[in-house]
């Protein structure tokens, strides 16, 4: 991408919403799906000859595609920082027919390529794009031929450990071919805002960029129409316009909606803005932009308000991988994962630490999630990809975005915002994540990190007063770059694009960031693992809203927020386990801090957060031997922590607890119950073990000492007044006698994208799930379905994803299948290594 083209691109751009087709055919205006019928090949050495492109060993595939997840896990050459999966250099090519038209322009748009890409059309280089997470496009009009054309894309991810998490490699997001009339609304050039909202009326403002690529002046009409969710017109306006040749301009059209439906987390209602250019009563361009009507406010004393109602932000941080599919995550995979989080009470997502895909944001709009869209993990100085915080290791394979930040930061930030700023789900733009570590004077200024200090950073307030922090900072050497100056620049660029959301950042050293100009660039300051500073920050810096933007999946974190009205909420680390950040921990390929594991299965921590974030009565039963449990029984029968107060300082990983009731006879166990019921009575084989109250457990975990006896544990939850609310059981499992298959959808769309999740659970003769032993399961599916892979959810499983055979974890595993364009009724079979079989039908239409 040339600098001239980039400058032109940033002047005026629009979100394309026209109808799409799965066929590579072109309309007079609009976009088409350009994902199908590509060819792919890895580059094995530095030499590229003409035969490289003409020989027959190219592999046919459809996009999105991540080649790293197709590799086996490699402890020798791989890096734990990115999950022990390799990168390399990959090539993509695609041939397509084009009928040229002198009145149209054609563009190719990539939603994300990881990374360092270069694109050619008919052997002419269109440009380079280094950042792996920002969208980009090229105007290919001048290089198109009438007839056959070939596009090639080189992706250089030879620096495969250039991140602290799994990135994937390749064209891992959607690609579109877009055709526009030369009199048109440029890509990403409509911006819908709702500056005035009342119960009776909402003002809808459409900032539209218009561009004339004809040499002659053009006269035309612009029509702005708003449709409701039923597709009915609720308001429309028309305005005459003119443009001189080879010029562009921005206009603003306004409409009003009476009795507007508001977009909300519980009712994510969306309207659609239709923007049309009509010349001589002929439609020459059209843009469809979904949007929502809603108000947001962060108050320094009372927290966050959506549509005037006070809400706690119950958020989670998410990396962009989807487990066995790597970074090329089908929409249905995200939908299942997000629905699980929604069911737990999650209402917000932090896209950590990079912009998400357009599809992901579409789902957040649709499902009712608030979103913090984060731009960068690195600014001026690099991070140590292997050992975060220490910043002492940098070599070829770990060199990341800092290499390009000075030249590309503004471009990547603004193109991301142009694509994303119509999404009602987005409430914050985050300019950076834990950036302070990379500027040495920040750690020095805090007073935490020196030979005289012996506290624990997580749980201690600053050891020196603010005045001394400021003095230390001012006397320290500036270095080549000043964090506050870069933050101010990023914040300014953000507000040039959008002033309807709040600018924030995830600050790991806020005691210094408040004093050094960093916080001055922010509208809301996010604290990273610093809940101990909430009162300190609110007292010393009362003019800026504070929230947790990275916190632990633990009760003590939520308790601190629940008790403070001035804290808007949190984003917990993390909603889902993610690959990477596992330096020298083989065979651990993934970080286990999530509420869901890498296969999207619910973990004990999920159930704890569900009891905190969801009012629907819920009980989870966990068990552990007294030897392995973190609890012990006192002589008086009370059950306490072996390390007193441990729950108040629990970190990323949930303590060891089992989800089965299978132990040697008379083994002393501790039964843990997580619940939002005020009282619970526990039974073993219909014998009551007593009723206990939630208020008696400051760690919110009901506990009983129970000598193991085979049978059934049953917990009955009651209200404070004694009304039965819910119950949960846990059965001793017998011998493995069957496979229980479940599927999240029995019908797939024959579009080559739709996905079904098949879960296989080993069960005994009474259909009790077996969670204490494992087996090997092989799946068989017809060629009309695409195998995406298998996984068991374990962060330490290094079985290849690209397989149909997997060893279970907790007696279960996951198979992902994707539709092709072949319709029919099909059967998926599962077989254990000892001959047990099961099958499940699936329809594709």
Q: What is the pLDDT of residues 130-152, one digit of tens each?
A: 999 999 999 999 999 999 999 99
Distance of CA 476 to the CA centre of its chain: 37
741-796 tens-digit pLDDT: 999 999 999 999 999 999 999 999 999 999 999 999 999 999 999 999 999 999 99
Other C-beta atoms within 10 Å of 499: how many? 11
564-607 tens-digit pLDDT: 999 999 999 999 999 999 989 999 999 999 999 999 999 999 99
> What is the DSSP secondary-structure string of 418-482?
HHHTT-TTEEEEEEEESGGGGSHHHHHHHSSSSTT--S-TTT---SS-HHHHHHHHHHS---SS-
Q: What are the backbone dihedrals phi and psi of residue 442, each rounded to the nearest 5 degrees, phi first?
A: -70, -50
Is 661's pLDDT higher than 60?
yes
Is 394's pLDDT higher than 80?
no
Measure the CA–CA gap between 423 and 429, rounded to whole angstroms: 12
438-477 tens-digit pLDDT: 998 998 899 887 656 666 788 989 999 999 999 999 999 9
The set of long-range contacts for 122-127, using a CB threshold of 8 Å and a minimum separation of 24, is 122/149, 122/150, 126/1, 127/1, 127/2, 127/5
Q: What is the mean pLDDT of residues 544-556?
A: 97
Is residue 16 very low, low, confident or very high in pLDDT (cuts 50, 70, 90)?
very low
Measure the CA–CA gap between 600 and 608, rounded to whole angstroms: 16
Measure the CA–CA gap between 385 and 162, rounded to whole angstroms: 7
The confidence score (pLDDT) of residue 452 equals 63
C-alpha gyration radius of the chain = 28
The confidence score (pLDDT) of residue 448 equals 86
Q: In this prediction, what percent of the chain has a pLDDT beyond 90?
A: 90
84-125 tens-digit pLDDT: 999 999 999 999 999 999 999 999 999 999 999 999 999 999
The CA–CA distances, whole Å, from 476 to 176, 218, 392, 469 equal 50, 60, 20, 11
The confidence score (pLDDT) of residue 183 equals 97
Is 652's pLDDT higher than 60?
yes
Is residue 23 very low, low, confident or very high in pLDDT (cuts 50, 70, 90)?
very low
Q: Please report the sign of the dihedral spanned by the C-alpha atoms of residue 591, residue 612, residue 814, residue 354.
A: negative
Mean pLDDT for the chain?
94
- 587: buried, middle or exposed (CB in 10 Å: 19+, 13-18, 0-12)? middle
Between 166 and 55, the more confident residue is: 166
The confidence score (pLDDT) of residue 22 equals 31
Measure the CA–CA gap between 792 and 800, rounded to whole angstroms: 11
The confidence score (pLDDT) of residue 424 equals 98
The confidence score (pLDDT) of residue 454 equals 62
The confidence score (pLDDT) of residue 580 equals 96
Measure the CA–CA gap between 484 and 71, rounded to whole angstroms: 41
Q: In this prediction, what percent of the chain has a pLDDT beyond 70?
A: 95
Q: What is the CB-side half-sphere exposure of residue 60 using CA atoms within 13 A?
A: 4
The confidence score (pLDDT) of residue 116 equals 97
Measure the CA–CA gap between 614 and 608, rounded to whole angstroms: 10
Measure the CA–CA gap between 800 and 557, rounded to whole angstroms: 36
The confidence score (pLDDT) of residue 52 equals 87
Cis geometry, peptide bond prior to residue 353 (ω within 30 degrees of 0): yes
Pairing of strands 747-748, 837-844: parallel
The confidence score (pLDDT) of residue 13 equals 34
706-716 tens-digit pLDDT: 999 999 999 99
DSSP character for 639?
E
Measure the CA–CA gap between 474 and 720, rounded to whole angstroms: 56
């Amino acid at each position: 991408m040339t600098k001239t083209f980039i400058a032109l691109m940033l002047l005026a751009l629009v979100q394309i919403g026209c109808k799409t087709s799965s066929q590579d055919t072109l309309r007079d205006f609009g976009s088409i799906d350009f994902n199908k019928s590509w060819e792919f090949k890895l580059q094995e050495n530095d030499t590229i000859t003409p035969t490289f492109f003409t020989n027959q060993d190219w592999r046919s595939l459809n996009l999105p595609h991540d080649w790293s997840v197709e590799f086996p896990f490699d402890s020798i050459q791989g890096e734990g920082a990115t999950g022990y999966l390799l990168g390399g250099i990959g090539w993509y090519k695609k041939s397509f027919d084009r009928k040229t038209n002198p009145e149209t322009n054609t563009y190719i748009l990539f939603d994300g390529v990881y990374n360092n890409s270069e694109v050619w059309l008919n052997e002419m280089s269109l440009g380079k794009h280094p950042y792996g997470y920002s969208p980009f496009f090229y105007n290919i009009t001048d290089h198109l031929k009438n007839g056959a054309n070939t596009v090639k894309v080189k992706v250089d991810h030879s620096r495969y450990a250039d991140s602290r998490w799994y990135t994937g490699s390749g064209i891992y997001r959607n690609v579109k071919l877009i055709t526009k009339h030369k009199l048109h609304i440029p890509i990403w050039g409509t911006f819908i805002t709702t500056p005035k909202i009342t119960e009776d009326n909402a003002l809808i403002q459409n900032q539209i960029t218009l561009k004339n690529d004809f040499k002659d002046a053009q006269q035309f009409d612009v029509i702005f129409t708003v449709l409701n969710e039923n597709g009915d017109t609720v308001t429309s306006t028309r305005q005459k316009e003119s443009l001189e040749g080879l010029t562009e301009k921005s206009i603003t059209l306004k409409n009003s909606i009476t009795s507007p439906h508001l977009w909300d987390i519980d009712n994510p209602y969306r309207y659609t803005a239709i923007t049309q250019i009509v010349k001589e009563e002929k439609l020459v361009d059209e843009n469809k932009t979904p949007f929502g009507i809603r108000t947001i406010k962060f108050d320094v004393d009372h927290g966050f308000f959506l549509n005037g109602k006070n809400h706690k932000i119950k958020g989670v941080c998410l990396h962009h991988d989807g487990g066995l599919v790597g970074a090329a995550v089908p929409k249905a995979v995200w939908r299942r994962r997000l629905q699980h989080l929604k069911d737990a009470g999650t209402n917000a997502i932090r896209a950590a630490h990079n912009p998400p895909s357009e599809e992901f944001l579409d789902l957040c709009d649709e499902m009712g999630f608030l979103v913090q869209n984060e731009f960068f993990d690195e600014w001026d100085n690099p991070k140590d990809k292997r050992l975060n915080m220490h910043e002492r290791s940098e070599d070829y394979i770990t060199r990341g975005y800092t290499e390009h930040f000075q030249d590309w930061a503004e471009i990547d930030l603004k193109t991301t915002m142009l694509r994303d700023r119509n999404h009602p789900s987005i409430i914050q733009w985050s300019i950076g994540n834990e950036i302070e570590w990379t500027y040495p004077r920040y750690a020095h200024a805090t007073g935490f990190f020196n030979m005289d200090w012996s506290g624990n950073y997580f749980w201690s307030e600053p050891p020196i007063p603010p005045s001394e922090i400021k003095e230390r900072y001012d006397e320290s050497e500036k270095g080549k770059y000043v964090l506050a100056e870069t933050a101010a620049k990023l914040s300014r660029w953000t507000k040039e694009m959008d002033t309807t959301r709040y600018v924030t950042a995830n600050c790991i050293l806020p005691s210094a960031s408040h004093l050094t100009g960093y916080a001055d660039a922010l509208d809301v300051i996010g604290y990273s693992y610093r809940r101990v500073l909430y009162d300190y920050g609110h007292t010393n810096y009362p003019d800026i809203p504070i929230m947790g933007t990275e916190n632990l999946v633990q009760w003590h974190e939520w308790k601190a927020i629940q008790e403070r009205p001035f804290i808007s909420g949190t984003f917990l680390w993390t909603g889902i386990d993610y690959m990477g950040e596992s330096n020298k921990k083989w065979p651990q390929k993934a970080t286990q801090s999530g509420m869901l594991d890498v296969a999207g299965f619910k973990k004990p921590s999920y159930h704890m957060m569900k009891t905190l974030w969801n009012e629907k009565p819920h009980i989870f039963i966990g068990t552990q031997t007294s030897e392995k449990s973190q609890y012990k029984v006192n002589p008086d029968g009370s059950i306490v922590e072996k390390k007193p107060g441990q729950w108040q300082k629990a970190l990323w990983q949930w303590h060891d607890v089992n989800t089965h009731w299978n132990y040697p006879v008379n083994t002393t166990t501790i039964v843990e119950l997580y619940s939002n019921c005020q009282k619970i009575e526990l039974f073993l084989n219909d014998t009551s073990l007593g009723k206990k109250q939630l208020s008696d457990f400051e760690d919110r975990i009901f506990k009983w000492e129970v000598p193991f006896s085979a049978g059934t544990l049953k917990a009955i939850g009651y209200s404070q007044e004694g009304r039965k609310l819910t119950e949960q059981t846990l059965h001793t499992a017998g011998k493995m006698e069957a496979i229980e298959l479940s599927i999240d959808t029995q019908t797939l769309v024959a579009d080559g994208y739709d996905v079904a999740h098949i879960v296989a659970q080993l069960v005994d003769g009474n259909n009790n799930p077996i969670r204490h032993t494992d087996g090997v399961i092989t799946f068989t599916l017809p060629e009309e379905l695409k195998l995406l892979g298998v996984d068991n959810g374990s962060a330490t499983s290094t079985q290849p994803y690209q397989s149909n055979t997997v060893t279970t974890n907790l007696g279960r595993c996951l198979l992902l299948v994707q539709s092709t364009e072949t319709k029919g009724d099909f059967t998926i079979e599962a077989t254990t290594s000892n001959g047990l079989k099961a099958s499940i039908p699936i329809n594709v239409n």
